[in-house]
Amino acid sequence: MSDDEGPDYEQLRGMGFICWREINDYNTNDNDTPIADTENKSKKKKRKLSISEENVPTKTDDIPAKKLKTKKKKKASATRSNQTHATSTLHSANKPASNNADDDKSQMEHDTARKIWLDLGVSKTIVQALIEQKFYEPTQIQRMVLPSAIRDRLDIIGAAETGSGKTLAFGIPILTHMENLIKQGEVKYGQFLTLILTPTRELAVQITSHLQTACQYTKLNIAVVVGGMSTHKQERLLSKHPEIVVATPGRFWELINEGDKHISNLSQLRFLVIDETDRMIEKGHFVDLEKILNLCNNLIHLTYSSEEMNHPQRQKFVFSATLMMKELEAMSKNKKQAVTDEHEKLAVLISVVGMSTKPKIIDLTKKFGTVETLTEARVTCSLEEKDHYLYYFLSLYPGRTLIFTNSIDCIKRLQSILTILKMNSLPLHAQMEQKQRLTNLEKFSSSENGILIATDVAARGLDIPNIQHVIHYQVPRSTQLYIHRSGRTARAEREGLSVIVICPEELHLYRKIIKTLNRDEDLQTFPVDFTNFSNIKKRVKLAVEISKLHHQVAKTTHETNWYFKAAKELDIELDEDIRDNELAKSAGTSDSKIKEQQLRNELNILLKQKIKSSDKIYSNSYPLLFGDPEKLLTKKVNLTAIDELKQRKPKQKKRKA
């Protein structure tokens, strides 16, 4: 495949992007060994891929027992030692099985787990895949959704906290129904049966990956259709007649317009999902979304008789972590309410999606904006001081950290400063090529102390394992965004920390967020040890100066070079004044370069120094440890940022009843 075509789905698999769970598995497996063991990685990826590629059986009963056993063994050995899996804290069964007694116990637990899922009506093949992933019981949203969606076949409007397992809450019922419909001969393989619409490309790829793992013992096929990737390749994927398509609205609409045969026939669609609904009704997505949904409905009118129209032929799922449930509830009951732009769009969405008159509304977000396992804190400071606190945090608290900004320029600036301070960070924003975005996500996912600086393109849905800290370097523009950004950590019942950095200009936004989240007091202040803060400040000040000088020099050199080059190419002599001016600029550049080098030398000396304080010792290099200096040497003490907060204030969250 040529580079200009962009990565296709298989390539993404190869790049590891859609295998975050798998990446997590083998990284955590190698906890004490270097992570960048690429050869090892690719071998493992290959093995994992071959597991899903050899999916021959269709019906549950048809899976040869021998084959299942082999697969189980393979996977079990791959996952047993991987105890930091996002879900490992959920179930004791995730503990390594080291002897026969444990194996028996694990078998018993498997049987119990299998029964739990089967009792909910989940098909055997899907259950098998869930158990292999160590998903031994449904999460709360899944427990609430599954009976209504599988047994009662109701349309579902679902809202639950970030990281609560919403993908499978709609995924499991759909996969189960599809299997049953095919078994009963109502539909056939190769028919386009399910459309899942989602706002971001990365999320679409991730959902595809999650569903693919869940249906690995079926013959169902899933294709992903997103912008930034080769249209040609996506058309080729669609020509293989996948039963499920996960798409972003823009590219999906584009392919429909190009007359793609497989997806244009929306009349046979049996399942429709709108994920991250509140984002989908925002500008940029709504126009295409509305067109797609209108097309779905018009085709139904054309194809089905009125009798069939009354029959719930198509099951719909509308999901989000921050859905405006009250508004939705009122709308579904046709109640009047204040009309805002967003309300109007929601109303349109509900009517265009064609929800049945009595959808099942499941709202698990009423009381809590953010998850219970999330520790939240704030830093209030001036605009200039933001860099100091960011560097302070990153220096003291290593761990996978996602920094959110509101602009791409801010990402570039921060990346430059952190690089000068000898901290590796990766950018993620919409101006980057899709391929690079995915590569950076993969690198971040596989680095224990990785730092990713991102715009809100990474705020929603991304299920990157074990992000320990989320830092809102700039206050998000809405409460929803605050919830989604913070939700990249503390997923699947793990602990996580979110720190919001607020300057005076942003106070009004912060206040709005606190009010909307129904908090009756401010977020706690993040504890900062000021004993050595002057050293932090000095380092950052130097880095900021170096960064400015560096960019000035680069800019001037570029301009001057351009001038002389253009004159040479045109074979003209520059005016004396202009030439002197350019030469003077060039000389200035040399001075700046010398100055920059001096500052870098100064900074390097500072970076080598250890900073000592009463109860902490830290240096520029990770890991940074606290407590008795004796113990530091043996690395026995390691307080996390969350521990620090808990020590100071055990009960941190206060929400209005």
Ligand X SMILES: Nc1ncnc2c1ncn2[C@@H]1O[C@H](COP(=O)(O)OP(=O)(O)OP(=O)(O)O)[C@@H](O)[C@H]1O
Q: Is 500 in the site for ligand X (CB under 6 A)?
A: no
In whole angstroms, the minimum distance from the beta carbon of 25 to ligand X comes to: 12
Interaction with ligand X in 317-346: which residues (CB under 6 A)? 321
Cα(115)–Cα(143) distance, rounded to whole angstroms?
14
Count of all residues that appear for the chain in the document: 657
Cα(597)–Cα(519) distance, rounded to whole angstroms?
49
Q: Is 339 helix (H, G, I), strand (E, B) or coil?
A: coil
Q: Are 199 and 460 in contact (CB under 8 A)?
A: yes
In whole angstroms, the minimum distance from the beta carbon of 604 to ligand X comes to: 41
Q: Is 128 in the site for ligand X (CB under 6 A)?
A: no
Q: Is 173 in the site for ligand X (CB under 6 A)?
A: no
| Near ligand X by CB under 6 A: residue from 9, 26, 135, 252 | 135
- Please enumerate, as own/partner, the contacts of 560-564 that have beta carbons within 8 Å and a separation of 24 or more: 560/585, 560/586, 560/589
Q: Which of 112, 351 has the CB closer to ligand X?
A: 112
Q: Is 454 helix (H, G, I), strand (E, B) or coil?
A: strand
Q: Is 75 in the site for ligand X (CB under 6 A)?
A: no
Q: Which of 208, 234 has the CB closer to ligand X?
A: 208
In whole angstroms, the minimum distance from the beta carbon of 489 to ligand X comes to: 10
Binding range to ligand X, per CB under 6 A, among 190-198, 239-247, 487-495, 618-626: 487-495
| Near ligand X by CB under 6 A: residue from 461, 466, 494, 582 | 461
Q: Which of 212, 395 has the CB closer to ligand X?
A: 212
Q: Which of 328, 394 has the CB closer to ligand X?
A: 328
In whole angstroms, the minimum distance from the beta carbon of 131 to ligand X comes to: 10
Q: Which of 86, 347 has the CB closer to ligand X?
A: 86
Which residues are 272's β-sheet partners?
A: 195, 316
| Near ligand X by CB under 6 A: residue from 16, 158, 165, 427 | 165
Q: Which of 213, 547 has the CB closer to ligand X?
A: 213
Cα(285)–Cα(277) distance, rounded to whole angstroms?
10
- The 10 Å CB-count burial string (b at 16+, else e) for 65-92 is eeeeeebeeebeebbbebebbbbbebbe
Q: Are 417 and 544 in contact (CB under 8 A)?
A: yes
Q: Which of 44, 210 has the CB closer to ligand X?
A: 210
In whole angstroms, the minimum distance from the beta carbon of 200 to ligand X comes to: 10
The token pair at 70 is 């082999």
Q: Which of 246, 544 has the CB closer to ligand X?
A: 246
Cα(268)–Cα(288) distance, rounded to whole angstroms?
20
Q: Tell me the per-residue interface mask from 241 to 280 with ligand X, x by CB under 6 A, - otherwise.
A: ----------------------------------------
In whole angstroms, the minimum distance from the beta carbon of 138 to ligand X comes to: 5
DSSP 517-583: TTBSSPPEEPP--GGGHHHHHHHHHHHHHHHHHHHHHHHHHHHHHHHHHHHHHHT-PPPHHHHHHHH
Cα(99)–Cα(96) distance, rounded to whole angstroms?
9
Q: Which of 165, 249 has the CB closer to ligand X?
A: 165
Q: Is 463 in the site for ligand X (CB under 6 A)?
A: yes
Which is nearest to 642 in space by CA: 524, 539, 491? 524
The token pair at 14 is 């190869």
Cα(354)–Cα(357) distance, rounded to whole angstroms?
9
In whole angstroms, the minimum distance from the beta carbon of 483 to ligand X comes to: 9
Cα(359)–Cα(356) distance, rounded to whole angstroms?
6
Q: Is 138 in the site for ligand X (CB under 6 A)?
A: yes
Q: Is 139 in the site for ligand X (CB under 6 A)?
A: yes
Binding range to ligand X, per CB under 6 A, among 244-252, 379-387, 485-493, 560-568: 485-493
Edge to edge, the sheet with strand 426-428 lists 426-428, 451-454, 401-404, 469-472, 496-502, 374-380, 524-525
Cα(347)–Cα(192) distance, rounded to whole angstroms?
27
Binding range to ligand X, per CB under 6 A, among 165-173, 370-378, 450-458, 594-602: 165-173
What HEC string does 9-45 produce? HHHHHHHCHHHHHHHHHHHHHCCCCCCCCHHHHHHHH
| Near ligand X by CB under 6 A: residue from 27, 125, 167, 267 | 167
Q: Tell me the per-residue interface mask from 76 to 115 with ligand X, x by CB under 6 A, - otherwise.
A: ----------xx--x-------------------------
What HEC string does 482-530 produce? HHHHHCCCCCCCCCEEEEEEECHHHHHHHHHHHHHCCECCCCEECCCCH
Which is nearest to 472 in space by CA: 502, 507, 430? 502
| Near ligand X by CB under 6 A: residue from 41, 166, 386, 616 | 166
Q: Is 205 in the site for ligand X (CB under 6 A)?
A: no
Which residues are 404's β-sheet partners?
A: 454, 472
Q: Which of 415, 489 has the CB closer to ligand X?
A: 489
In whole angstroms, the minimum distance from the beta carbon of 398 to ligand X comes to: 23
| Near ligand X by CB under 6 A: residue from 390, 492, 497, 611 | 492
Q: Which of 390, 462 has the CB closer to ligand X?
A: 462
In whole angstroms, the minimum distance from the beta carbon of 34 to ligand X comes to: 25
- The 10 Å CB-count burial string (b at 16+, else e) for 475-492 is bbebbbbbbbbbbbbbbb
In whole angstroms, the minimum distance from the beta carbon of 228 to ligand X comes to: 20
Q: Which of 222, 238 has the CB closer to ligand X?
A: 222
Q: Is 487 in the site for ligand X (CB under 6 A)?
A: yes
Q: Which of 366, 636 has the CB closer to ligand X?
A: 366
Q: Which of 119, 341 has the CB closer to ligand X?
A: 119
Whole-angstrom CA distances from 436 to 202, 219, 414, 432 are: 12, 32, 19, 6
Number of Cβ atoms within 10 Å of the Cβ of 342: 13
Q: Site for ligand X (CB under 6 A): how many residues?
A: 21
Applying CB under 6 A, the residues found at the interface with ligand X are 86-87, 90, 135, 138-139, 142, 160, 162-168, 321, 461, 463, 487, 491-492
